[in-house]
Structure 1
């Protein structure tokens, strides 16, 4: 989820509103001890849990939510990383280039039960931080507790606009995060800068198939979609494909593939195809929607985004929304998902 600030990394976004049904954990999880496999620790987004001592999320917008007792909480890191942490619903505090055991409560909290949320800066572009969660350290005698969970999760999948590239806090000031927070939902952004919809011959990541993966690489493990089930999906794709010589037919067919993949993994979801903000491949997007609805999928719809943002005032570089632009998108999108 970090991202290159190169303006040429354009945008696409896909969003999924999901119902939380589980959290990655190992059978031998030591509940309450603060280790990554502790079943009281809740993971939002796609986390690679193959190592019991180090959980990794490569997509933007993933975070971990932890309830705990005591007066202190410290994050266990490996090598240097940037991240944001919010304690008890407070502001997201920025930690830059930190490693080892990081104290998130320099002033002790009152005795009682608390929560902490941690979101890592994603590794992408020229940024190579070590986004590895190794658990938390608490006061002697303190333990983790299961935090209150939202009734649904919103999953945003896309590229640099979904990441929040060039906004002040990247994923945290991107419209996906804002929509989730506004609706009181869990949320994550399955996104990386520069991605395409169609897997172009020059190597551009094709989200029509990469949507199925736990991480960024083509050989990453397939994601276990039983971790949560989407009940709404909103797709906004196509800004980058133009720069990779993707043809009209290739784009349309890749869009149909993504719609089919989303439907296969989220059988009950309503799927919204969002007109991308650069108005690229609009006819092809509409054709893809018509193809699946004509085939009998009545829960796929097209969303017109004309007028949502102003290129001159609401973007940093005529492509990537600034903070105000992301807020305007969230203002339009949140009511549609509410």
Structure 2
């Protein structure tokens, strides 16, 4: 499958004069030859092939013993010959030698742009005078990635080539395109009045005044979209604006590619998680059976997975690619397969899952969990605290939707720090700064009811009650309202506080949380009579929105 398939298919040969001595004659081939496959967004201008957006690449097979290219402008690019290692050519210009002294026979070549600043302007491909160019095997599937600096691979060692997008596509044997740009928002005008991806995606170069992209050039089998981190600075208080823009954006993409599987991936740190999920829900509820929301927040946490506060490292991109792999694999299989849920945890009953929430340094000692029965758990948790703008704790959880009631008996809570906590948590996602509500026990305050209503904002105490373990707790969500109660016997309930108007995602996580409030020690809590909506958790399929009910 070719992304650029020009009408001119003949190879134009210009024979160079044979130099004095042993210099070999060479053939200069126009890059518009149909045997060359172009992936990404390329256009032709005066027999020059020009790319835009990061990670655009060209590939072809050739015979002979040498290979060079002629460029119209300076560019930072990568190339590889015969499937070897990628080699970098910083500030490549004019005629660039890519290979020489090869063994006679058939060889393969690939050249690619590193960043959005690198536009490859390919004028000639130079081979031996008796050599030929031939097409590689046609691609079975193309996957397109749409995003911002993360999808572009900013801060990684090879830019687009070490982004999760490039890595997962290559591991699946797929051709791929990256429509991504650092600092780009989804919403127009969100950053210095610049156009957002809701406009840029539909352009060749991504600018308002540039020509529209011709979507008939190629048809991706899957589209992966990750946006939101840049919009959050502008539209955090206007999430409905972002949700509407995202919904309309997805509708326009669906109009262009009616059969593609569209994966909307949450931003890894959870930026604008709820409106992103809601945008997908609006389309799946209207009947789109090939659009999926995938929560990526449990995939990477602060530490070696990040180079800075926002951008994953090479290792982080490798993890994201590995986690995304089974989703793409399932939907591109023939016949298509259901999206995978989390694997069952042999140390937990039913569909319960567990992990440490927070950055590596904030979490400190690794936590753990055991269970005596389907409704009785013991949690060991370290971590700086559940509070401020980020959390660090042990979480045992499952997925829930909208209206939920959780009841539990805190049998015991052993802690060194007075700010240690153990209790019931409702959490929008699994990144450290997630919006959340917790009803728990603390040595300092007895029963506490607190929340972080917006990602990365300060946690506020809504109410408390003097009590100690053993103690029964009940946390209830009704739409956007949350209610916390406590009891000595599990029958007569006393209110702690209520929280109204929290704009939390429709599908979220609920479970048990323990933090030691000191990453150098572990706090231990035992919970019994754990019930969700009046029932002990049983085996079942997680239902966080990943896919519609049918394949």
TM-score range relative to shorter protein: 0.7 to 0.9
The answer for the alignment partner of 1:260 in structure 2 is 251
Alpha-carbon deviations, 1:219-241, whole Å to 9, x = none?
A: 22222222221222222110000
**How much has 1:322 moved relative to structure 2?**
0.5
Whether contact under 8 Å (2:57, 2:110) holds in the other structure is: yes
Residues 36 and 52, structure 1, Cα contact 8 Å, conserved in 2: no
* 1:45 pairs with 2:40: yes
Q: Which residue in the other structure is 2:299 paired with? A: 308
Matches within 5 A, 1:104-115: 104-105=98-99, 107-115=100-108
**How far apart are the structure 1 equivalents of 2:102 and 2:181?**
36
2:126 alignment partner in structure 1: 137
Cα distance, 1:248 vs. partner?
0.9
Structure 2 counterpart of 1:10: none
List per-residue Cα deviations over 1:95-119 (Å, max 9, x = no partner): 11221111101x4111111110000
* Residue pairs, 1:67-106, within 5 angstroms: 67-105=61-99
Residues 198-207 or 322-331, more deviating? 198-207
Give the whole-Å Cα distance in 2 for the aligned partners of 1:42 and 1:32. Answer: 17
Under a length normalisation based on structure 1, what TM-score does the superposition of the two structures give? 0.88
Secondary structure in structure 1 of the residue aligned to 2:325: helix
What is the alpha-carbon distance in structure 2 between the residues aligned to residue 240 and residue 289 of structure 1? Answer: 19
Q: Tell me: higher relative CO, structure 1 or 2? Use CA pairs within 8 A at least 6 residues apart.
A: 1
Q: Which runs of 4+ in 1 moved over 6 A?
A: none
Which residue of structure 2 lines up, in the alignment, with residue 172 of structure 1?
A: 161
TM-score (norm 2): 0.55
In structure 2, which of residues 168, 179, 190 is the aligned counterpart of residue 190 of structure 1? 179
Distance in 1, Cα, partners of 2:300 & 2:115: 26
Judge conservation of contact 2:143–2:176 (CA < 8 Å) in 1. Answer: yes
Bigger strand share:
2
Change (3 A) 1:159 1:306: closer
Map Cα deviations across residues 48-75 of structure 1 (whole Å, 9 max, x no partner).
Answer: 22x1422211201110001111111101
Number of the residue aligned with 1:26:
6
Contact 2:199 2:206 in 1 (8 A): no
Q: CA offsets, 1:4-26, max 9 Å, x none?
A: xxxxxxxxxxxxxxxx3x33243
Report how far residue 161 of structure 1 moved: 0.6
Name 1:251's counterpart in structure 2.
Answer: 242
- Give the Cα–Cα distance (whole angstroms) in 1 for the partners of residues 120 and 134 of structure 2: 24
Separation (CA, whole Å) in 2 of partners of 1:225 and 1:29: 22
Report the alpha carbon displacement of residue 31 of structure 1 after superposing the two structures with TM.
Answer: 3.6
- Is the 1:78–1:130 contact (alpha carbons within 8 Å) kept by the matching residues of 2? no
Q: Are the counterparts in 2 of residues 200 and 244 from structure 1 also a CA contact under 8 Å?
A: no
Aligned partner of residue 60 in structure 1, secondary structure: strand
CA distance in 2, matches of 1:48, 1:150: 20
Q: Quote the Cα distance in structure 2 between the aligned partners of 1:192 and 1:30.
A: 35
Whether 1:334 and 2:336 are equivalent positions in the alignment is no
CA contact (8 A) 1:32 1:143 kept: no
Match of residue 35 from structure 1: 30
Cα offsets for 1:276-332 (capped at 9, x unmatched) = 112111111111111112222122221111320112221100211101000000110
Aligned to 1:11: none
Q: What is the DSSP-based 3-state SS (H/G/I as helix, E as strand, rest coil) of the residue aligned with 2:220?
A: strand
Secondary structure of the residue that 1:317 maps to in structure 2? coil
Residue 268 of structure 2 is aligned to residue 294 of structure 1: no
How many residue pairs get aligned? The number is 312
Give the whole-Å Cα distance in 2 for the aligned partners of 1:207 and 1:123: 14
Matched residues in 2 for 1:118 and 1:302: separation?
A: 33
User: For the residues of structure 1 that align with 2:116 and 2:216, how far apart are their CA atoms?
Assistant: 26
2:198 to 205, 208, 220: 208
Q: Using the alignment, how far apart are the partners of 2:189 and 2:295 within structure 1?
A: 26
1:322 aligns with 2:313: yes
SS at match of 1:46: strand
8 Å Cα contact 1:58-1:122 kept in structure 2: no
Q: Which consecutive unaligned segments of at least 5 residues does structure 2 have?
A: 14-28, 330-551
1:235 alignment partner, SS class? strand
Please tell me whether the aligned partners of residues 80 and 98 of structure 1 are also in contact (alpha carbons under 8 angstroms). Answer: yes
Contact 1:155 1:189 in 2 (8 A): yes
For 2:287 and 2:277, how far apart are their aligned partners in 1? 16
Please tell me whether residue 199 in structure 1 is matched to residue 192 in structure 2: no
1:63 and 2:57 matched: yes
Query: Which of 86, 109, 120 in structure 1 is aligned with 2:113?
Result: 120
Structure 1: give runs of 5+ residues left out of the alignment.
1-19
